[in-house]
Amino acid sequence: MASIAIDNPGSVVLLMGNEAIARGALEAGIGVAAAYPGSPTSEILPTLAGAAGERDIHVEWSANEKVATEVAAAASLAGIRSLAVMKQNGLNIAADFIVNLNMTGSGTGGMVIFVADDPGGMTSSNEQDSRAVAKWIDNPLLEAQDAQEAKDMLKWAYELSEAVMLPVFLRGVTRLCYTRGNVVLGELPVKNKKKAYFPDIWDMYNPTKSRFTAGPSAVAHRNLHEKLEKARAVFEESPFNRYSGPENPELLIIASGVCTSYSAEALEVLNIRKRVGLLKLGTVWPLPEKLVAKWLTAARKVLFVEETDPFVERSVMEFAASRLPEMDNPVFYGKRSGHLASYNEQSTDLVIAAVAEILGLPQQIRDPDYQRDAAEAMNLVPNRPINMCAGCPHRATFWAIKNAIALDGRNGFVCGDIGCYSMSFAAPGFYQSRTMQAMGSGAGVANGFGNLQQFGFAQPVLAVSGDSTFYHAVLPALVSGVYNKANFTLLILDNSATAMTGFQPHPGTGLLATGETAPVVNMEALCRSVGAEVSICDPFALGEATGTILEMMKQESGPRVIIMRHMCQLLKAKRKIPDKYHAWVDQEKCLGDSCGCDRLCTRIFGCPGLMWDSAAKKAVIDEAICVGCGLCADICPAGAIKKEEVN
């Protein structure tokens, strides 16, 4: 039985935020969940998929977040509660659908969209605060503080969604999604026996347009605003907004999401809970103005603690401005005042520093002697850059690309994309990717470069894409390229997984989210049918791979495709596919840092399984890390790296 579906209300378990959200969705009685993998949300869907059979729900990985949101919307329109899950960038993709859905509303089945931002951009190509999207496209927005609250908010969110007939946003951040905390389980409802039916079909005797088609937009927009006011009224009474502290606080902290925890801990550490109040907002947009007004009146100073934009800060200040000149306003502190940054994560110590500054309190200082010793010790600590795993096929692919571009000699370059192979913008992929924006942008941008010949452009253009990325966003770019005769070579790095986010299946893998078999959407057949020439290579066959890239680079026709196919090494390990070789470095033959080598394997090739012994001045293979792929043996100029097959 899936542990997330334990029927034991009242029991306490340790769940990470993502698991709690999955549990919350089950407790709310959803019938459908759809998503595309995106850190930090990636575990939500597989957790639900694990319980799909038992709870009799439909759980799917959609090709991209827009489709996932559309799938969830359909369920809602047919009266089934649904959940769509995405990271910040996914919301950008889904937004066009949501703005249109909002014109006519969601259905009788509540719909919740969970979006997680990544403050600090730890696992993202950009940093953004998605809450502004909810404000811009007019959806009610909730923000959860911890795993328990995330779970509890979901049921409430569905009720709200059904009351106002709009999708409700629940927003989280990396620290919410990936922090495990105590969660008290609630009740699981009786399994969903509601019949799915879309009521708004054509009635030939009374023909009218469906509620769910567009226009007139202005009227729909007005109706949308009225729905938001309804939500605002509900928010005024919401249990997710709480005040703790004195009646007339010297300083009022208004915090939302995980920042509430940082603020609470800061007050604890500074021991000023009797002086400073904490207003926690769980319902963030529309702003519960009456509630906020009460505490603005009670406090002389207000500090906003949130990630990353001054979103609540601006909403409150906007509201406060409307109260002038009748009401006095407190002094506002936050991002505008410079007490907290409007980028990167917040943390308890940053809040401590801000509060101490505002109240004139002494700062906490670490033991100065220890501080000095610690700073000195840091000189010993090397940076630990991220790298592709030992045995990663991307290392082989980018080695082939690097050599091919050099041999070609016409200043070729790679347009990069999103996935593990994104690391190719840096040392792990030999700095080969020279542009990188969103999913599918590699092929998209290559299209543009590929049609600049009339301006004298003569550089060969390569684009890279992962297998999952291909189905997500690259296909339209390839179609556009064939149609517009753009000159570029697309390399699809097919490692049989959506690897960076955790090896989720996708349309090319033959597996569903639930583990059942699925039809394979054949990548090469798809590319050929679109009109592109396709070659398939194993990147580990370096000579052939390099030669194929060189050949393709020379062509001047429309886009051609090379599928670099080799399973992800971590996936191989999961599936217990054994190591192929035992590899070691013949210390006698190793040339090390002398002429004829200059540490090619450890300095440039950079597999984490290779170490440089600076005492012996030789390369050594770390048997605890090496997976036996044998690629290093193929690139060693002295033939010092040996490999023998393991049976």
Partner 1 sequence: MSGTKRGSKNLLEDVIKAGLCTGCGACVTGCPYIVVREGRIVVLDRCTLEEGDCYRHCPRTRTDMNVVSGKVFGVPFSSAETGHALTIAMARSTDHLISKKAQDGGTVTTLLAFALDARMIEAVVCTKMDESKAPHGFVAHSRDELLQCAGSSYEAGFALEAFRKLPAGSADRVAAVGVGCQIEALAKMKAEAPVNGGNPDNIQLTVGLFCGWSLRSGYFRPILQGMGDPARIVKFDIPHSPHTSFDVYAEEGKSSVSLDEIRSAINPACQYCWDMTAEFSDISVGSAGSRFPGWNTIIVRTERGAELLARARDAGLIEIQELPEWRLAQLKTAALNRKRTAFKRLAEKSGDSQDLLYIFGLSEGFADSLLAG
Partner 2 sequence: MAAGTLSKEPFNLIVAGVGGQGNVLLSAFIGLALVREGFVVSVADTFGVSQRGGSVTSHIKISKESSYSSVTLPGGADIILGMEPVETLRALGEFGNPHVVAIVNPRPVHPSGGGPYPALDEVKRAIIKLSAKATFVNATEEALKMGDPIYTNIILLGALLGAEVLPIGREAMLPVLQERFTEKIYEVNIKAFDKGIELVKAAAA
Interface contacts to partner 1, rule CB under 8 A: 402-403, 406-407, 409, 430, 589, 591, 593-598, 600, 603-604, 637-639
3-state SS class at 309: coil
8 A C-beta contact, residue 351 and residue 305: yes
Q: Which of 622, 637, 639, 645 binds partner 2 (CB under 8 A)?
A: 622
Element (H, E) at 297: helix 289-298
- Least Å distance, CB 643 to partner 1, is 18
Residue 182 or 522: the one with the smaller Cβ distance to partner 2 is 182
For residue 121, count other CB atoms closer than 10 A to its CB.
Answer: 17
Q: Which does 596 bind (CB under 5 to 8 A by kind): partner 2, partner 1, none?
A: partner 1
Alpha helices in 378-421 (DSSP H): 393-408
Q: Which of 236, 250, 349, 533 binds partner 2 (CB under 8 A)?
A: 349
Alpha-carbon gap, residue 458 to 479, rounded angstroms: 23
> 316-344: buried (b, 16+ CB within 10 Å) or exposed (e) per residue?
bbeebeeeeeeeebbebbbbebebbebee
8 A C-beta contact, residue 333 and residue 301: yes
Q: Does 20 bind partner 2 (CB under 8 A)?
A: no
Q: Does 14 bind partner 2 (CB under 8 A)?
A: yes
- Least Å distance, CB 636 to partner 1, is 9
8 A C-beta contact, residue 175 and residue 257: no
- Least Å distance, CB 403 to partner 1, is 6
Q: Does 246 bind partner 2 (CB under 8 A)?
A: no
Residue 427 or 541: the one with the smaller Cβ distance to partner 1 is 427
Alpha-carbon gap, residue 110 to 33, rounded angstroms: 12
Alpha-carbon gap, residue 252 to 243, rounded angstroms: 10
Q: Which of 98, 423, 537, 590 binds partner 2 (CB under 8 A)?
A: 423
Q: Which of residues 264-293 bind partner 2 (CB under 8 A)?
A: 264-265, 268-269
DSSP 127-176: ---THHHHHHHT--EEE-SSHHHHHHHHHHHHHHHHHHTS-EEEEEEHHH
Alpha-carbon gap, residue 82 to 78, rounded angstroms: 10
Q: Which of residues 523-552 bind partner 2 (CB under 8 A)?
A: none
Q: Which does 12 bind (CB under 5 to 8 A by kind): partner 1, partner 2, none?
A: partner 2
- Least Å distance, CB 554 to partner 1, is 11
Amino acid sitting at position 499: A
Candidates 98-106, 452-460, 518-526, 598-606 — which segment interacts with partner 2 by CB under 8 A?
A: 598-606
Q: Which does 606 bind (CB under 5 to 8 A by kind): partner 2, partner 1, none?
A: partner 2
Q: Does 261 bind partner 2 (CB under 8 A)?
A: yes
Alpha-carbon gap, residue 325 to 94, rounded angstroms: 41
Q: Which of 321, 324, 377, 406 binds partner 2 (CB under 8 A)?
A: 377
* Upper half-sphere CA count for residue 153 (Cβ side, 13 Å): 30
3-state SS class at 112: strand
> At which residue do the structure tokens 């969660």 appear?
183
Q: Which does 220 bind (CB under 5 to 8 A by kind): partner 1, partner 2, none?
A: none
End-to-end CA distance of the chain, in Å? 38
Q: Does 623 bind partner 2 (CB under 8 A)?
A: yes
Q: Which does 607 bind (CB under 5 to 8 A by kind): partner 1, partner 2, none?
A: partner 2
The DSSP call for residue 425 is: G
Q: Does 347 bind partner 2 (CB under 8 A)?
A: yes
x/- map, 133-162, partner 2, by CB under 8 A = -------------x-x--------------
Q: Which does 500 bind (CB under 5 to 8 A by kind): partner 2, partner 1, none?
A: partner 2
Relative orientation angle of helices 147-164 and 17-27, to the nearest 10 degrees = 40
Give the tokens for residue 570.
């971590």
Count of residues engaged in binding partner 2, rule: CB under 8 A: 67
For partner 2, the binding residues (CB under 8 A) are 12-14, 16, 39-40, 122-123, 146, 148, 175, 178-182, 258, 261-262, 264-265, 268-269, 347-349, 352, 366-367, 370, 373-375, 377-378, 380-389, 420, 423, 427-428, 500-502, 570, 599, 602-603, 606-608, 610-612, 614, 622-625
